[in-house]
Amino acid sequence: MKILLASSEVEPIAKTGGLADVCGTLPRELERLGHEVVVFLPAYRSVRRAPVPITATSVQLAVPVGSKLVTGRLLESRLPDSQVVVYLVENEPYFDRQQLYGENGSDYPDNCERFVFFCRAVLEAIRLLDLEIDLIHANDWQTALLPVYLKCELDATSPYENIPSLLTIHNLAYQGRFWHWDMLLTGLDWKYFNWRQMEFYGQLNLLKSGIAFADAINTVSPTYALEIQTSEQGYGLEGALQHRAGVLSGILNGIDTRAWNPRTDPHLSMNYDLENWREGKAKNKATLQQQMGLKVDPKIPLIGIVGRMASQKGWSLIMPVMQHWLATIDAQWVVLGTGQPEYESAVAALRNKHSDKLGINLSFSEPLAHLIEAGADLFLMPSQYEPCGLNQMYSMAYGTVPVVRRTGGLADTVVDTNDATLERGTANGFSFNAFLPQALEQSLARAVWTYQSKPDVWQRLVERGMTSDWSWSQSARKYAELYERTITLFRAERQHV
Ligand code: ADP
């Protein structure tokens, strides 16, 4: 198959979050499976610092945006260690800016216009480059107009335009909502501005538009695909998603096993694998305890937390439990994260009171994140919602047992420990349902009790996590299957028309 993947972020060229990881890794894995992938990305200012060579092409674009004809140019690059071609859509006024989407906490006011241009430029580039594309894979609201243009505007008899589309939702909280007059920028007929298609409570909603028109939709875990169809987690789009339930599925992200491998990780004080994890983890635990100013003690359970300090990550549960445990229970905590000031200051205050049991680092540190994954005994991730989540998979790959809330990708990767799951050999962590501190505390207590009193069970949990396949190759195979299904269905429907 020949796939066109369009995204507003692609690692290692432009990144603000997990979207970039998926769109940087998936194309390379698909190439390994024998598929051809071409990637499109805006040429932001930051691409000049990218660790890949970028060259100019002679391809000039001119596309309508509202009443203007806007010009641009294509640059070309490649994803590292691959033949995957990346086309960067250049338009300096739109993309030569300090950030990707906004500055100082405010979105750029012309974000709708910027991504209308980008989507139109991608479609125009197919024609100009004479690409034969079997499917267009759009990602999140920034590229969600691609399925809309394919269905509503283009000439279905043209080989360049008779293309099915898949829309991946990486986080439903971000939808690309704009005032209704931005509909004019899209150039689409006002008849599409209705509650079934592009309109959302009086506004233009780009993600909703993509949901309405894509041939297939997926999210980054099977459970999240179900959860977003409920009013609790649908952010108002549950109805639109229920309407497309027949073509909505979930595929878990993988982890980058080159960067996250305890055998080769350069950030660890000792590398280890399944054969010597006890020794390896003990060594890293001692280094971590030392670095964080905690007592160096191999026996005391060490609980690690890494991530954004946002409500989504369950800080309203973590704070009361941590406070209670620091005062009453002999366990150590290490926190690495930045985010909402109220959580940062609450953790800092606890650190002042319990510096013997709590180590904190309120910054972004890749090396420390790796050391925590290796040195902690338990990893805590009680998220309120979690489209996929990476940290729980890193933990398991490093033999660190996760304690998580059973939601989204956490529900799909962490299997709670009980008699039945132990018998089946599937147990790899601890999980709970209710978004309540008491539920977290119970799970954490079960985990610590198992760590201290059931070393044989603990060994099974650690080894189950370390031997599971969290790599991208599995996920890429599932994407290839989804592409194939979508193309077959699309072609079959066309034949009937
Ligand atoms: P999300 O994308 O919602 O933030 P994920 O678990 O999917 O959550 O991915 C978060 C990624 O960012 C992980 O790789 C995690 O280790 C990393 N990360 C988050 N905060 C920090 C930090 N303060 N220092 C280092 N890495 C961090």
Beta carbon of 257 within 6 Å of any ligand 1 atom: no
pLDDT at 360 over 70: yes
Residues 481 and 371 in one domain: no
Higher pLDDT: 17 or 90? It is 90
**For residue 12, cis peptide bond before it (omega within 30 degrees of 0):** yes
Per residue in 177-196, pLDDT (tens digit) is 999 999 999 999 999 999 99
Residue 262 covered by a domain: no
> Based on the structure, what is the number of domains in the chain?
2
Q: How many CB atoms lie within 10 A of CB 34?
A: 8
Residue 271 covered by a domain: no
Beta carbon of 311 within 6 Å of any ligand 1 atom: no
- The predicted pLDDT at position 154 comes to 72
- The predicted pLDDT at position 342 comes to 95
Residues 171 and 286 in one domain: no
pLDDT at 440 over 80: yes
Residues 284 and 389 in one domain: yes
Residue 131 covered by a domain: yes
Residues 88 and 159 in one domain: yes
pLDDT at 466 over 80: yes
Helix and strand numbers, DSSP H then E, in the chain? 18, 20
Residue 483 covered by a domain: yes
Within 8 A by CB and 6+ apart from 425, the residues are: 460, 464
Residue 264 covered by a domain: no
Beta carbon of 290 within 6 Å of any ligand 1 atom: no
Q: Quick check: 176 and 142 in contact, CB under 8 A?
A: yes
Instruction: Work out the pLDDT band at 364, boundaries 50, 70, 90.
Output: confident
Averaged pLDDT, 3-31? 94
- The predicted pLDDT at position 13 comes to 95
Residues 206 and 307 in one domain: no
- The predicted pLDDT at position 105 comes to 83
Specify the residue for token string 């096993």.
257
pLDDT at 160 over 70: no
Averaged pLDDT, 203-231? 98
Residue 263 covered by a domain: no
pTM for the model: 0.93
Residues 33 and 175 in one domain: yes
Q: How many CB atoms lie within 10 A of CB 319?
A: 16
Residues 301 and 402 in one domain: yes
Instruction: Work out the pLDDT band at 223, boundaries 50, 70, 90.
Output: very high
Residues 373 and 388 in one domain: yes
Rounded CA separation 465/183 (Å)? 48
Residues 224 and 324 in one domain: no
Per residue in 310-354, pLDDT (tens digit) is 999 999 999 999 999 999 999 999 999 999 999 999 999 999 999
pLDDT at 17 over 90: no
Beta carbon of 244 within 6 Å of any ligand 1 atom: no
Averaged pLDDT, 405-434? 98
CA of 18 to the centre of ligand 1 (A): 8
Instruction: Work out the pLDDT band at 497, boundaries 50, 70, 90.
Output: low
Residue 261 covered by a domain: no
Q: For position 483, which CATH number holds? A: 3.40.50.2000
Domain housing 151 = 2-254+474-496
Q: Quick one: how far is CA 104 from the chain centroid?
A: 23
CA of 307 to the centre of ligand 1 (A): 5
pLDDT at 156 over 70: no
| Closest alpha carbon to 428 in 376, 453, 454, 392 | 392
Beta carbon of 366 within 6 Å of any ligand 1 atom: yes
pLDDT at 369 over 80: yes
- The predicted pLDDT at position 155 comes to 64
Averaged pLDDT, 445-466? 98
Per residue in 387-416, pLDDT (tens digit) is 999 999 999 999 999 999 999 999 999 999
- The predicted pLDDT at position 341 comes to 94
Residues 63 and 103 in one domain: yes
- The predicted pLDDT at position 404 comes to 98
Residue 362 covered by a domain: yes
Residues 329 and 284 in one domain: yes
Instruction: Work out the pLDDT band at 258, boundaries 50, 70, 90.
Output: confident
Beta carbon of 17 within 6 Å of any ligand 1 atom: yes
Residues 60 and 27 in one domain: yes
Atom of ligand 1 nearest to the CA of 409: 7
- The predicted pLDDT at position 162 comes to 87
